[in-house]
Amino acid sequence: MKRIAKFSLITFLVLIGLTFVSAVLTMSFASMLPADVTITTLGDGVSVSEIPSLGVLAWVFALLAVWFAYFVALCAVGFAMFVTAGILVFTAFIMLSPFILIGLIVWFIMRRKPAAPAPPAPAIDTPPAGAGA
């Protein structure tokens, strides 16, 4: 179980890094977007192409917002894929359960030890035919 947890943690950290890199690239090329693309928060709007000129703090906040949006989208897609895979595995198990049951029955029959052979019948001492009593 420790190996699975370590793999999951490394995968999670790699995905966080990839979403951060993609957010940085998105914000780096934000000045190339058309001027009519705006981000509106609480009624205040700002053009995406103006963000680099607003200062470092605005760029960092916008970067974090984009990163958070990418990360939430990645988590949503990952969760949907995980649930779908679980449903497919469950369905496959239900569909294949008769074959699994038959296989288990055959395995248990083949695995049984054969019955011990019956002991030989004891020899009965009978007197010879001509001997009188």
Q: What is the pLDDT of residue 37?
A: 72
Select from 121, 30, 6, 26 the least CA-distant residue to 69: 26
Beta-carbon contacts of 31 under 8 Å, excluding residues fewer than 6 positions away, are 49, 51, 52
Partnered with residue 10 across adjacent β-strands are none
Rounded-to-integer distance, Cα 26 and Cα 24, Å: 5
Select from 57, 60, 46, 51 the least CA-distant residue to 29: 51
Q: Along the 133 residues of the chain, how does pLDDT read in single tens digits?
A: 688 889 888 988 998 898 889 888 887 777 676 767 777 777 777 777 777 677 788 778 888 888 888 889 988 998 999 999 999 999 999 999 989 889 989 988 888 777 777 777 777 776 666 665 5
Strands 38-41 and 44-47: antiparallel
Q: What is the pLDDT of residue 74?
A: 87
3-state SS, residue 3: helix
